[in-house]
Amino acid sequence: MSVRVEGVTKHYRAGGSTVRAVDGIDLTIEAGSSVAIVGPSGCGKSTLLGLLGGLERPTSGHIWLDQAEISGLPEAGRARIRRESIGFVFQSYDLLPFLTAEENVQFQQALTGQNATNSRAGDLIDRLGLAAHATKLPDQLSGGQRQRVGIARALAHGPRLILGDEPTGELDSETSVSVLDLMLDAQASIGATLIVVTHDPDVAARLERVVALRDGKVVSDRSGARIA
């Protein structure tokens, strides 16, 4: 899935003043590529990721996913695209507390009309080292284990766009490597576009492109260590 951003801003009112979280960004990301978004805290990384995923509409500007201008769609239209074509990995996990680890992954498949009894959920659980925890509820898992369940859920329906907000932030270095391996393998196998917000330079260096933000603007755009 290709991504095109033209003149996008996102402004908020806070304490009587205007916060320019995203302040005039132009960006084109080719389908099937991988991009890291980096920069200091508060520079607009997570806000931009939310806009790309249709979680919010921009204050101004346009965002296209392939030929669909999601910035102009009502919430129902954006929700359909999120459900069918996008996989989100958030720091907050957002797991359903009454479902087991494996059931959380299967639920994502069911939302998109896939057969939740197929082997994909189990395969992802196994590859993320969670086989022994598949029948546990989220509150029986550690923070790192919940993060890995969230990643499995985001990949379960074969999304065409994978958006990660610090997907390795709660993980140790060894697990971070295996998780990023899985995300890159999933991206390659389904031809998805991968966009990751990260503070970790080792994570950023493994993607094809690194876009740096500061004060809501793009300040650099360079190739990463992973060249296709």
CATH for 168: 3.40.50.300
Give me the sign of the Cα torsion angle 209, 22, 213, 6.
Answer: positive
Extended beta strands in the chain, E state: 3-14, 17-29, 34-38, 60-65, 68-69, 86-89, 161-165, 193-197, 209-214, 217-223
Indicate whether 95 belongs to any domain.
yes
What element of type H or E holds 126?
helix 120-127
Is the residue at 190 inside a domain?
Answer: yes
pLDDT band at 173 (very low <50, low <70, confident <90, very high): confident
End-to-end CA distance of the chain, in Å? 17
Instruction: Name the nearest CA neighbour of 35 among 181, 173, 197, 192.
Output: 197
Structure confidence at residue 226 (pLDDT): 53
Find the domain containing 44 and state its range. Answer: 3-223
Find the length of the chain.
228
Q: Is residue 49 situated within a structural domain?
A: yes
Q: Which amino acid is at 149?
A: V
Strand partners, 19: 12
Residue 228 in domain: no
Task: Classify residue 30: in a domain, yes or no.
Answer: yes
User: What is the gyration radius of the CA atoms in the chain, in angstroms?
Assistant: 17
Query: 65 forms bridges with which residues in the sheet?
Result: 3, 68
Per-residue pLDDT tens for 13-57? 888 888 899 999 999 999 999 999 999 988 999 999 999 999 999
CB-CB contact of 54 with 82 (8 Å): yes
Per-residue confidence (pLDDT) for residue 92, from 0 to 100 = 65
Please write the tens of the pLDDT for every residue from 99-123: 999 999 888 888 777 665 556 788 8
Mean pLDDT of the chain: 88
The answer to whether residue 159 is domain-embedded is yes
In the chain, the number of structural domains is 1
Q: Per the domain annotation, does 136 fall within a domain?
A: yes
Please count the other Cβ atoms lying within 10 Å of the Cβ belonging to residue 181. 12
